[in-house]
Amino acid sequence: MSGIRDWIAASSALAAYDWLEHITADMETLAVFPRRCPVALEAHELGRDLRQMISGDYRIVFSIDVDAQVVKVHFVRHAARLPGTTDSS
């Protein structure tokens, strides 16, 4: 997420701060009923139970560890990026 924040900050530090506050608040809602979010496209390809949440123009892809009662965020990407693409492209 720091890469996205830095990219936004290059244009506006205030916008970067606002984006980080908004996306963090959205991720914190995953603590309550994370299964409300749909299965991510990558789940079928990777054979894992991955879910996604849309936050503005970004996808938050995460998994749920039921035993540990933990939600693990795997990545945050702009929603226009195709699933399976790397961050270096």
Residue the block writes with tokens 């492209």: 89
Mean pLDDT by 10 residues, the chain (89 residues): 84 92 94 92 81 94 87 90 57
Q: Quote the domain boundaries for residue 33.
A: 2-78
Q: Supply the CATH number for residue 57's domain.
A: 3.30.2310.20
Chain CA centroid to CA 13, Å: 21
Q: Which amino acid is at 44?
A: H
pLDDT, residue 74, reads 92
Residues 27-44: pLDDT tens digits? Answer: 999 998 999 999 998 887
Cβ-contact 61, 78 below 8 angstroms: no
Q: Would 72 be classed as within a structural domain?
A: yes
- Give the CA-trace dihedral at 18, 33, 66, 84, to 10 degrees: -50
pLDDT, residue 81, reads 78
4/61 Cα distance (integer angstroms): 15
The number of distinct structural domains making up the chain is: 1
